[in-house]
Amino acid sequence: MQQRRIAFIGAGNMTAAIISGLVNSGYPSNLITASNPSPQKLDKLAERHGINTTQDNHHAVAESDVIVLAVKPQLMEQVCQDLAKQSLAGKVFVSIAAGINSERLLDMLGGHYPLIRTMPNTPSLLSKGMTGLFAQDSVDESDKTFVFDMMSSVGEAIWVKKESDIDIVIATAGSSPAYFFLFLEAMQNHAMALGMDKNTSRKLVQQAMLGAAEMVCHNEDLELSELRAQVTSKGGTTAKAIESFQSDQLTDLVAKAMDAAIKRAQQMTQQF
């Protein structure tokens, strides 16, 4: 991987995940700076990874080549407009924010800088992340490669062809860990309602999910419906559960939820 100086503006969950992936994969920590208004998260990152920290975004940017915008979407305008007060010539920008498109980000930054939008997810914390990336045609291949490699340090990364596809990545991979957690919560709660204790219920759902996820990853040549069929014995218990999900239109519910996430991402570009 190329070595460039990277500044993370915002030192929250996603920044912590990406920094941890980078450092664990051998990226030099002295090339990484994180900036955040409060010192607690910075201190933790400095202690754990030996990176540089600052409470001054301008300082972080001045000292770096690649600037990762990692604040909440509602703060992005304020943060970018403030950064635009200093010279940003020669910097490459990376956004990990949901729902703010490249045009809007460049407008906030006040110039036509190279910008790559990315959409990671929280499993990046365990180096099991999934990141979608989009870059406009004007972005250099070497900048694209650098950012792709950076996001690959926390899991899998994939380019999407058009910017609106980032919203599909949000609905399918960025937000979806929460869908799975909700599903597991519902199963754990019902196992408890049926009389199972909390720890045993948790153990049952988490190990079933882990095993199922690994089966999916180890059988890429099999359709997901085939893996489902392998569990579903004719006339058995699973068949009844699946029949119940289908008669309650689970597939439509999932599509509706994903559409709601996409709609929100589209609204956010207008709102923030």
Ligand X SMILES: NC(=O)C1=CN([C@@H]2O[C@H](COP(=O)(O)OP(=O)(O)OC[C@H]3O[C@@H](n4cnc5c(N)ncnc54)[C@H](O)[C@@H]3O)[C@@H](O)[C@H]2O)C=CC1
What is the contact surface with ligand X in residues (CB under 6 A)? 9-15, 35-38, 41, 57, 70-73, 75, 79, 96-98, 119-122, 174
Report the nearest approach of ligand X to the CB of residue 19 (Å).
11
Closer residue to ligand A1CAB, CB minimum distance, 88 or 268: 268
Report the nearest approach of ligand X to the CB of residue 9 (Å).
5
Could you say which of ligand A1CAB, ligand X, none residue 157 binds, taking C-beta under 5 to 8 angstroms by partner kind?
none
Among 76, 92, 166, 170, binds ligand A1CAB (CB under 6 A): 170
Contact letters for ligand A1CAB, residues 70-109 (x by CB under 6 A): ----------------------------x-----------
Closer residue to ligand A1CAB, CB minimum distance, 114 or 174: 174
Could you say which of ligand X, ligand A1CAB, none residue 11 binds, taking C-beta under 5 to 8 angstroms by partner kind?
ligand X
Report the nearest approach of ligand X to the CB of residue 216 (Å).
21
Closer residue to ligand A1CAB, CB minimum distance, 175 or 201: 175
Quickly list DSSP for the chain: -----EEEES-SHHHHHHHHHHHHTT--GGGEEEE-SSHHHHHHHHHHH--EEES-HHHHHHT-SEEEE-S-HHHHHHHHHHHTTS--TT-EEEE--TT--HHHHHHHHTS---EEEEE--GGGGGT-EEEEEEE-TTS-HHHHHHHHHHHHTTEEEEE-SSTTHHHHHIIIIISHHHHHHHHHHHHHHHHHHTT--HHHHHHHHHHHHHHHHHHHHH-TTS-HHHHHHHH--TTSHHHHHHHHHHHTTHHHHHHHHHHHHHHHHHHHHHH-
Hey, which residues between 171 and 190 contact ligand A1CAB (CB under 6 A)? Answer: 174-175
Residues that bind ligand A1CAB in the complex, under the rule CB under 6 A? 98, 170, 174-175
